[in-house]
Amino acid sequence: MSGAQTLSLTVLPADALIDVPRRIVLHGAPAGARVTIASRTERAHGAPWSADAAFVADADGIVDLSRDAPVSGSYAGVSALGLVWSQTPVDGASRDVFPTPLSAPLVTTLTASVGDASVSAQFTQRLAAEGVTRREIREQGLVGTLYLPPGEGPHPAVMVLNGSGGGINEPRAALYASRGYAAFALGYFKAPGLPDYISNTPLEYFERGLRWLRDTVRPAHDFIALSGQSRGGELVLLLGATFPERVSAVIGYVPSALVHSAQNAADPATGREGPTWLLNGEPLPHIWENNRTASWAPYDEGPAPHRHAHAMLTALDDPEAVERARIRVECIRGPVLLLSAEDDGSWPSSRYSRMVAERLAAHGHPHPVEHFDFERAGHAIVFPYVPTTQVVYAHPVSGRVSTGGGEPAANAHADERSWAAVQAFLARAVAARAAQAAGAPSSDSPSEDTHDTHR
């Protein structure tokens, strides 16, 4: 059995949302032959990303990536989409994973080679399902993008908030909308018409965003969840605690239990120890403020790649400062999902998430609290089947080079498991809200069901 005509390479499904797993199978290789499969994903703007791995065909001449581990290459172990998450940019530097505009899908070409024979196949990953609509929002001083699912609705809603990189998190909003949620990605700095820095951001801006979302979308069961990443994870907990009547559920990706200073997204005029959040025109107390133990030295002077988390840990040694800066999460009036990373290089999200869960349990929080803590994973938990290899980066505001931590395989696992957890959490939260609205007994379980899961 030889020659290109004997080989066939299939990817199923060939065209689907980015979060859909695929099965990649090669047929027609000689039994026991070494097979090299390479992936290459082109982008409309920016460098292509690529990976490759070598496999040994079984007695039937088959290589099945959902069953077979490579013998060498870009990744190790069995992983159906290892040739996606292990990709690196061919220019060695790019970090822009998603296309511009987001309506442009990611198209990956796979090429399998056996000796002189080769065969190719393509598959397409989409961030927005057919029928999802996109609308830029420039109203009431708000700057964001609203994604709506197909159909008349009403749909439950999610407000999506980015972290210290600023901007508008459209990829996550597009995917939320593709899964049935009216998703409002709200920018609050480093977006058109907004400040360049996170410093002195008023919380009332987000309250206005919540009111606008409720009035505009009129969500099903009056359900609005908050979803935030990193500083956005800190922010969604803070908003849930500050405006509890407006927030139905909170999803914190690698969040903080504490209010932090402006850090790497600071306005140089106020510095990284200046305030981030304002309420009623006054800065909220933050962990670096009057802290007797906090030091930037472990970050600034530590070995490359620098770990921001090392500085954050010094601040936790002053218990009085910690207590002053704690987010009063016990005021949140809905379920809470915490997604953290054990090897988080940006800040100690595992410890912060435990602090949140413990405080909620201590106050008898009457709604579910779930905590997924991912072993060997780093700060950049997003959603499944995207490259996870670029863990060292220059901060988009300060330009400081540091590591988010984690290993590519562990980061890929965290991406997959976290998104499954988010979808299940939201489904339960919406069902509980619907039951409450209908006057039926809620299926919410109390905070003693809080769990800390290593996946």
Strands (E) in 43-156, as ranges, are 49-56, 63-64, 72-73, 88-89, 106-114, 117-126, 133-139, 142-148
Distance CA 451, CA 434 (A): 24
- The token pair at 281 is 């025109």
379 tagged catalytic: yes
Token reading at 130:
């057919």
- Among candidate residues 371, 379, 415, 418, the one labeled active-site is 379
Q: Which of 68, 318, 343, 344 is catalytic?
A: 344
Give, rounded to a whole angstrom, the gap between the first and last alpha carbons of the chain.
42
Query: Does the active-site annotation cover 300?
Result: no
Q: Going by DSSP bridges, is the β-strand pair 8-12/23-27 parallel, antiparallel, or unpaired? A: antiparallel
Whether 85 contacts 79, CB under 8 Å:
yes
Q: How many Cα atoms occupy the beta-carbon half-sphere of 96 within 13 Å?
A: 13
CA angle 147, 165, 202 (to 5 degrees): 80
CA distances from 363 to 53, 94, 285, 330 (A): 51, 45, 22, 6
Which phi and psi (to 5°) does residue 133 adopt?
A: -110, 150
The rounded distance, in Å, linking the Cα atoms of 386 and 90 is 15
- 267 is annotated as an active-site residue: no
Q: Which of 230, 248, 261, 350 is catalytic?
A: 230
Is 447:369 a contact under the CB 8 Å cutoff? yes
Under a CB-based contact definition with an 8 Å cutoff, are residues 342 and 256 in contact?
A: no
Which residues are identified as catalytic? 230, 344, 379
